[in-house]
A and B are shown apart, each in its own frame.
Chain A
C-alpha cells in the first residue's frame, strides 16, 4: 500500500507540471518469461492490451505493480493451459471487468467511440465538398481587389 501511496503522491506532483509518469517501469521479470518463445510472444502482445488496474493508464506489460505481475502470470498460465488468445482475454475480463481492456470492445454504446472518427470524417468531407463547390462556382465578380484604404496601407508597407 505504501508504494502505491508514494506513487500517487509522485503522480500528484507530476500532474502539477502537466507531465505524465507511468511510474518507474521494470515490467516483465525474467522468472515470468515462458520457455516457448511463440507462447511468450503471444503473452507479450496480449499484455499490451490489458490494463494494470492500480496504475494510471499503464498496461500490465509496462507496470511493475504486484497486481500487474499477478495478471501477467495468470495470463501466461491460461496460455500454457492451451487457451486461445480470445479465451484467455475473456477469462480475464470475466474476472476483472471490461475496465481491464485498454482496447475497448465495440459492444453496446461503445460503437459510438469507434465510429466517432469515421462519422466525423464523413460529415467534414460533406461540408467541405459543399464549400469547395460553392467556391468553384462563385461568380467571378465576387473576387474583388483591395479597397482604397487597403491600397494605401499596402503602399506604405512596401515603402518600408
Chain B
C-alpha cells in the first residue's frame, strides 16, 4: 500500500510538470491570437496542476507519517520514535521536501487566481496563469532533475537518522511553510506584472488586483520571519533574535520590497501614478525571493568557509533566477515607456509620502543586499577575505528605519493630491509632545546608559500614537467612536500595521538597551541576585524524553522574598542525531522575560548558569503579529471583496492528504 502511494506521488508530480508546461504555453498563444478556447485552457490546467502537486506532496507526507524507510529522504530525515508533529513537519524539513512545498504553493496561488480571478479580462487572466505556470515548470524541473524526493533505497534500513533536533520544535515546524507562502506569494505579483507588460496596459484595476496578492504574501512573510526570530530567541540559548545572517537577509529583503510594493500599488490603484515603478518592484520583489532561494540552496555565501551544498542545484537556481528576472526586466525595459502616469499630485501629498516610503524601503533593501554579497565581491574582485556582520548592518540599516519612523505618521495623514506639511504636523502636535515626554521620562529614569532606549521609546510611541491619532482625526467631531468603527477596514488595517511597526521598533530598542545579563557558577542551594530577582539552583536531575536524554535544573526565583517563578532549564542530548541542545527556561511576563540557561557542571560541583532579564522581549513579536493583523484587516476591506478578481483572501492552508 505504502509502496503504491509513493509511486503514485512521483507520477502525479511528473503529470503536474506536464500540465504546467501546457499551461505555460497554450494560454499565452491564445491570448496573443485572441482564441478563447486556447485561453480557457489556463483555468482547468491551473486547478489540475494544483491537485496533482497536492497529491504528490500528500504522498510524501504519508511516507514520513508511516516512516517508510525505503525512501531515501525519509531515512535521512526521520526516525520512528519521533513525535508525530515532527514526522509531519519533517516533510518540509529538508531540501527536497521543502522544494516540493515551494512548488505546491506556486500551484496553489495559480489555482486560487483561476478561481477568484473571475472579473479579470480574459487575456490578462490567461497571461497571468501562463506566467505563473512557467515559474512552476522551472521548479518542477528543478525538483525532478536535481532534487527528487521520491528516490528509493535498494536496501531500506531498520530506522532513520532523525531530523535535526533543533528543528524539532513547534515554532520551527511552521516557520518554513509561512515563509514559503510569502516568498512564493510574491510570484503572483510577478505574474501580474509580466502579464501586464505583455498586455502593454496598466490601470487602476491592475493595482487593485495585484494588491491583495502582495498583501497576502507580505502577511505570510511577516509571520514566517517573526516565527523564525521567535524560535531563535527561545531555542538558541542566549535570546538573540536577529543575526543578519545571509539566510535571514534572504527572507528580509523580499519582505522590505513587498512592503514597498503594497504601498506603491495603492498609488497605482487610487491615483494611477507610479505605474512603471510598481511593475519594477513586483519583478524585483519576486527576484529577491529567488535570490534568497539561491543564497540558501547554493551555499555560495558560506561555501568558502564551511561546506558546499550541491553546486549543480545552485547553477540550476541561478539559471531560473537569470531567466525570470532577466527576462522580466528586458520586457520591462522594452515596454515601460508605454505606461505613462495619469494622476497629478503636488510635491507635498500622500503620493509623495508614499514615494518617500518606497525610497527608504528599497534603498534599505539594497543596503542589506550589498552587505550580504560584499564578502563574495571582495574576495572575487579585490582578493580580500573579509566579513560583513551584524555591526555593519546595525549601523548601515538602522538609520533608514529611524527616518521611516519619523516620517510615517505625517506621511500617513497627508491628503492625496495636495497637502500642507504645516497643517498635518500641527494635527500631530499632541502626539509629538507625548512621544517626546515619554522619551525624556525614560532618559531620566535610566542613568549612565546609551540614548538608544529613550530614542526608541520616542520613535515607537510617535509611530503608535500617530497611527491612533490618524483614526481619531478621521472620524470627525461628533459620535466619534461610532464613526471610527464605521471607517473602512483598510483604514483600521493601516493603523494597526503601523502601530505594530512602532511597537516592534520600541521593543528592539528597549531590549537592546536595557537587557541585563549574569554569568556565573551557581552552587546548589546558594541564592544569587540578578537585577531585582533572587535565584536559587535547587536541583539538577537526569531524565529521559521520547527521543532524547535531558539534564534538567530546577531554579526557584523570588522577588523581595515573594515567589516569582520556578524554572526548569534543560540540556538535551539527542542520541540518534548525536546532537546536544540547550532548552532555555523562560518566565514570560508582559514587561520582561526572565531567561535562564543551564550550562556545564564544573569540577567543584557547581553549574554554569546564565541569567538574562530581557525587557519588552515579547513586544517584538506582538508588534509583528499586529503588522500581520493589520494586513489581514486591510485584505478584508470591502473594496477587495467587491472588486472584480480579488474577492477573497487566499487561504493559507496546506492540504494534508
- Given known A-B contacts A15-B296, A19-B231, A20-B247, A59 and B608 have beta carbons under 8 A apart: no
Is the pair B391, A113 in contact by a Cβ cutoff of 8 Å? Answer: no
Residues of A within 8 A of B299 (CB): 15
Let me know if A103 and B359 touch, CB within 8 A. Answer: no
Count residues of chain B with CB under 8 A from any CB of chain A. 94
Tally of A-B Cβ pairs under 8 angstroms: 220
Query: Given known contacts A12-B309, A18-B251, A124-B359, is B387 in contact with A99 (CB within 8 Å)?
Result: yes
Chain A residues positioned under 8 Å from B309 (CB to CB): 12, 15
Q: Which of A122-160 contact B (CB under 8 A)?
A: 124-125, 128, 131-133, 135-136, 138, 140, 142-144, 150, 153, 156-158, 160
CA distance A28 to B597 in the complex (A): 13
Once the chains are docked, how many angstroms separate the CA of A21 from the CA of B581?
11
Q: Which residues of B contact A56 (CB under 8 A)?
A: 245, 302, 305-306
Chain B residues numbered 363-390 whose CB sits less than 8 Å from any CB in chain A = 363-364, 366-367, 370-371, 374, 378, 381-382, 384-390
Cβ contact within 8 Å between B392 and A143 = no
Stretch of B27-35, B92-100, B138-146, B648-656 that contacts chain A: B92-100
Which of B339-347, B493-501, B548-556 is the interface stretch? B339-347
Which chain A residues lie closer than 8 Å to B610 at the CB level? Answer: 26
- Are A20 and B248 interface neighbours, CB within 8 A? yes
Is A17 part of the binding interface, using a Cβ–Cβ cutoff of 8 Å? yes
A11 & B306 in contact (Cβ 8 Å cutoff): yes
Q: Mark A6-35, 1 if CB is under 8 A from B, else 0.
A: 101011111111111110111111100100
A145 to chain B, nearest CB (A): 10
Residue numbers in B under 8 Å from A99 (CB-CB): 385-387
Instruction: Judge whether A30 and B228 touch: CB under 8 Å.
Output: no
Which residues of chain A have C-beta atoms less than 8 A from B306's C-beta? 8, 11, 56
Compute how far the CA of A22 lies from the CA of B247 in the bound complex, rounded to whole angstroms.
12
Q: How far is the CA of A88 from the CA of B247 in the complex (A)?
A: 31
B238 in contact (CB, < 8 A): yes
Q: How far is the CA of A16 from the CA of B96 in the complex (A)?
A: 8
Q: Which residue of B lies closest to A28 (CB)?
A: B519
Any A CB within 8 A of the CB of B202: no
A101 at the interface (CB under 8 A from B): yes
**Contact residues in B for A138 (Cβ distance below 8 Å):** 341, 344
**Is B474 part of the binding interface, using a Cβ–Cβ cutoff of 8 Å?**
no
* Cβ contact of A143, chosen from B246, B250, B344, B374, cutoff 8 A: B344
Complex contacts, B387 vs chain A, CB 8 Å: 51, 57, 99-102, 104
Which residues of chain A are near B395, meaning CB under 8 Å? Answer: 103
* A97 in contact (CB, < 8 A): yes
**Residues in A whose Cβ lies below 8 Å from that of B396:** 114, 117
Contact A113 B371 (CB under 8 A): yes
In the complex, are the beta carbons of B366 and A120 less than 8 A apart?
Answer: yes
A128 lies within 8 A of B384 (CB): no
New contact pairs (17) apart from A15-B95, A17-B175, A26-B582, CB-CB < 8 Å: A12-B307, A14-B164, A18-B98, A21-B166, A22-B245, A57-B244, A99-B385, A101-B386, A102-B389, A102-B390, A102-B391, A104-B374, A113-B370, A128-B355, A128-B359, A132-B351, A136-B346
Q: 26 A-B contacts, Cβ less than 8 Å apart?
A: A10-B579, A13-B93, A13-B163, A16-B94, A16-B95, A17-B93, A18-B250, A18-B296, A20-B243, A22-B245, A24-B236, A25-B238, A26-B599, A56-B302, A57-B302, A58-B243, A59-B390, A62-B238, A101-B387, A109-B378, A109-B381, A113-B388, A124-B362, A136-B344, A150-B205, A157-B119
Which residue numbers of A lie inside 8 Å of B, CB to CB? 6, 8, 10-22, 24-30, 33, 48-49, 51, 56-59, 62, 97-104, 108-110, 113-114, 116-117, 120-121, 124-125, 128, 131-133, 135-136, 138, 140, 142-144, 150, 153, 156-158, 160
